[in-house]
Amino acid sequence: MVSIVPEPSDLVADKAVSQASAFCQGAFSILHRIDLSLNTMKHIQRFYLGLTVTFSLLWLWADSAWLGSSNYFIWRSAFTNWTGVLGMAVMSVGMILAVRPIRVEPRLGGLDKMYRLHKWLGITGLVLSVLHWALAKSPKYLIGWGWIERPGPRVRGPLPDGIAGLLMSQRKLAEVLGEYAFYALCVLLLLALIKHFPYKRFFKTHRWMAVVYLVLVVHTVVLMKFSFWSQGVGLLSAVLMVLGSAAAVVSLLRRVGIHRRAVGVIEALEHHPESGVLRVDVRLQDRWDGHAAGQFAFVTFDQAEGQHPFTISSAWHDDGHMTFLIKDGGDYTRTLPDKLKVGGPCTVEGPYGNFVFDSSTQRQIWVAGGIGITPFIARMQALAKPGYEQPVDLFWSVRDLEDEALRRVQAAASKARVRLHMIRDGQNEHVWFCGPAGFGAALREGFGRLGLGAERFHQELFQMR
């Protein structure tokens, strides 16, 4: 007779198997998440690692005497140099990226990714500056606590001739400048990282980073170990600081993106109060070299308010017309239905971004959350060509929507032969997502469980910091 009551040993074994399976699923999910985020960020991560590792190796090449020493002051001097040169390198690259260099942007996967890299370079610069400052201050405390011996009085010979002597004569001034610049840097970077600090104020205060950066360049030029200048670490530092200083001046003169700006007028306005969306049709009066569907622009309706990024929600037909769909998501965008007038001026800077639907396979899945539909509308317009067929599924999640808006999206989808339906299988598609970060993370995970490879999930980061 076969017993249907499990033996206690079977129960223990079943429990162990189910626990092991839960553990494996959990571990797999964590690994999958790491894999997905690595792939989403692959360009900027490689760049970040390449920069920090190359610079550290170049420093090590130039400054390795500390390796065989047990003297605290020799170690302190070496690591003050390392945190100093690496800190300036990451801040210089961050400064260069802040002025939106056109050639670098596509290589880093678009402006949103480039600004993410800018943020991480800023955080790295902050950490290295704190270490640099702590190392500079450390002898006073370590001697006070009795952890190290006070060194004998330093015997300074006469200043050398030439540039070396000139730089040495300015050391005290450079140290004081560096210390105050460090305090300012800490305040400005912390304000940039505190999300509750209003974006508008962050934007204004962040511009002062350019001044702080220029002061730190002076500090570095005077205090960098003189022998470094004739080696790789010094030469690369010099190149980065020259480019970074030029970028700081461009930023202070408010000339960022000036060659990519076009003046235009508002041609038509259409407010959808239920969904809180304002459609703004613009006619450009200056030259615009075109854009790919899915790219965005920095739009200025009011000089006092400044630029806001919005996706260009129309395909380019070489006629100067473009459309923006703007959701009343914040303090400024809420005021736009009352403030904007037909015939009013606007400036459009761009195009930027790499959310342009290039994939190795034709088959694509698009996922939009709310106002995240904007790049897909532009793409559907671009696909609405006779005889052109691309197998695309569009899933759009939206809370409130007027019938008219829905009809328009359906009409655009139908003209582009894009199917609007639920997605059940993630085996052969590329997924394009634009919308809130939490929604993106949940989708990435869900699609991952269905077997969708990380390299096939493309996400626009709808946040600049």
Ligand X SMILES: Cc1cc2nc3c(=O)[nH]c(=O)nc-3n(C[C@H](O)[C@H](O)[C@H](O)COP(=O)(O)OP(=O)(O)OC[C@H]3O[C@@H](n4cnc5c(N)ncnc54)[C@H](O)[C@@H]3O)c2cc1C
CB of 116 to ligand X, least distance (A): 11
* Whole-Å CA distances, 409 to 85, 326, 401, 452: 53, 16, 11, 27
Residue nearer to ligand X on the CB measure, 150 or 399: 399
Do the strands 321-327 and 277-284 form a parallel or antiparallel pair, or are they unpaired? antiparallel
CB of 296 to ligand X, least distance (A): 4
Closest C-alpha among 293, 330, 288, 289 to residue 311: 293
**Number of residue whose CB is nearest ligand X:** 330
Residue nearer to ligand X on the CB measure, 14 or 331: 331
What's the per-residue H, E or C state across 277-313? EEEEEEEECCCCCCCCCCCEEEEECCCCCCCEEEECC
CB of 294 to ligand X, least distance (A): 10
Cα torsion angle, 31, 33, 35, 41, sign = negative
Residue nearer to ligand X on the CB measure, 216 or 312: 312
Residue nearer to ligand X on the CB measure, 233 or 312: 312
Residue nearer to ligand X on the CB measure, 219 or 308: 308
CB of 293 to ligand X, least distance (A): 13
Residue nearer to ligand X on the CB measure, 336 or 452: 336
CB of 384 to ligand X, least distance (A): 20
Q: Taking CA 34 as the corner, what is the angle to CA 33 and CA 35, rounded to the nearest 5 degrees?
A: 90
Count of residues making up the chain = 465
Count Cβ atoms below 10 Å from residue 450 Cβ, excluding itself: 12
CB of 190 to ligand X, least distance (A): 16
Site residues for ligand X per CB under 6 A: 112, 199, 296, 307-311, 325-327, 329-333, 353, 371, 374, 462-464
Residue nearer to ligand X on the CB measure, 201 or 341: 201
The helix (run of H) or strand (run of E) holding residue 395 is strand 392-397
Rounded CA separation 93/172 (Å): 27
Rounded CA separation 237/253 (Å): 24
Backbone φ and ψ of 150, nearest 5°: -70, 130
CB of 308 to ligand X, least distance (A): 4
